[in-house]
Structure 1
């Protein structure tokens, strides 16, 4: 005797941001030419970029402003 198969709900498609396309709003970190994390304010993006730069000085870190479509480089000030 065959058992009835349980009905499985269709999984909802996940909304994923593409890393190769520039965001349309807010601010994003660009690490070695690739878009990474997204932030609502420039201060939050700069803080995250500086924290990343403090851990890994060899990375090229920039903050991308989606509204103006500009990038600003995060420079590591060096050891205090």
Structure 2
């Protein structure tokens, strides 16, 4: 069974999204922006990024690595 480039790409994207979900580089930062700690803003921005990436995944690659190629839908 061979793994497609598309599967590897989306796997890499998933790992990057998971790795950067926790703002380890902001630990210990006491900076405040608009009344909230900067790490809260990181999470808000990161949630927006992940929503856009998931929308792209759902539109273009839903079923990659799960459904066999050339099936009834593809």
Same fold (TM over 0.5): no
Structure having the larger proportion of residues in helix: 2
Q: TM-score, normalised by structure 1?
A: 0.25
Bigger radius of gyration: 1
Q: TM-score, normalised by structure 2?
A: 0.27
Structure having the larger proportion of residues in strand: 1
The structure with higher relative contact order (CA 8 Å, sep 6+) is 2
